[in-house]
Amino acid sequence: MNELKNPFASEEITPAFNDEWQAKRRVAAAVRLLTEVLVTSSPDTSKMHDIAEQLETTAADFAASPRVYGRLDWIRSGEHGSYGQVSHELNPLAGYSNPLAPPVTTRIEGDVAYGHCFCGWAYEGPPGSVHGGYVAAIFDQFMGFAQKLGKRPGMTGYLHVDYHQRTPLTTDLQLEARITSAEGRKTFMEGKMYAGDALTASCNALFVEPRQGIYSLEAQARPEEVFSPPASDRG
């Protein structure tokens, strides 16, 4: 199987598909930095108006290039990579090319999935702590990719999060997930989030494979770009 085309492949082992995405990752990193600076500094008001004007000009320049809306459109031209590759770049939690993403990374070792992420001050909920909604979103993403441990990946049916203690900002957060059981199209999983040795949150999740299989979601794409898992992964 071509790992780079697998939408469930680890972010940690997935390089940018080409120079275009490498450059976009750089832009996204700059926007993340800008966001962090925005919420942690207070230049004088007139300077902020100047900055806003510069950014508006930059956004208008950027928008003058051809626009592409949605992953299926990104792959139709055949120039920007496969569905899996584009998903890796633009995923709102894990995509290096999407500045909304912290990003969350994943890797599989045996029957456990591991991941990590780092949330700056833009993610503050309770003082000095990650907003609970982001904790849940990080879990949803991480558990979704951790389904690679199983045979029938699907969509989140439910995600139950327990918040044990506040999750600190500007700290490397470690994630781990396991499959607890599987039954037909249903995969039950548990996940944990640690800051150092402290368990800050845990979750139980059910993923349900759509009746036509998860890969039916990308069947609207060009057939040669559709990722097809090896027979051994189909269960």
Site stretch for ligand DCC (CB under 6 A), options 24-32, 43-51, 67-75, 155-163 = 155-163
Q: Which listed residue (80, 82, 104, 140) binds ligand DCC by CB under 6 A?
A: 140
Closest distance between ligand DCC and the C-beta of residue 86, in Å?
11
- Supply the minimum distance, in Å, between the C-beta of residue 148 and ligand DCC: 9
Q: Assess contact for 124 and 130: CB atoms under 8 A.
A: yes
- Beta-strand ranges (E) seen in the chain are 105-109, 112-118, 155-163, 172-183, 186-195, 198-208
Picking from 77, 79, 98, 76, the residue whose alpha carbon sits closest to that of residue 88 is 98
- The single-letter code of the amino acid at 7 is P
Give residue for tokens 């925005």. 38
CA dist 137 → 79, 133, 194, 226 (Å):
30, 6, 15, 26
Q: Does 185 bind ligand DCC (CB under 6 A)?
A: yes
Which of the ranges 25-33, 41-49, 53-61, 181-189 carries the binding residues for ligand DCC, by CB under 6 A? Answer: 181-189
Least distance from C-beta 16 to ligand DCC, angstroms? 18
Q: Which of 184, 197, 231, 232 binds ligand DCC (CB under 6 A)?
A: 184
Piece of the chain touching ligand DCC by CB under 6 A; list 52-60, 112-120, 151-159, 161-169: 151-159
By CB under 6 A, tell whether 211 contacts ligand DCC. Answer: yes
According to CB under 6 A, which one of 103, 144, 150, 191 is a site residue for ligand DCC? Answer: 144
Under a CB-based contact definition with an 8 Å cutoff, are residues 130 and 119 in contact? yes
Residue 208 near ligand DCC by CB under 6 A: yes
Give the full edge-to-edge strand order of the sheet including 198-208: 105-109, 112-118, 172-183, 186-195, 198-208, 155-163
Buried b (16+ CB within 10 A) or exposed e, 6-23: bbbbbbeebebbeeebee
Question: Binder to ligand DCC among 218, 221, 225, 229 (CB under 6 A)?
Answer: 218
The binding site for ligand DCC (CB under 6 A) comprises 7, 140-141, 144-145, 155-158, 184-186, 206, 208, 210-211, 214-215, 217-218
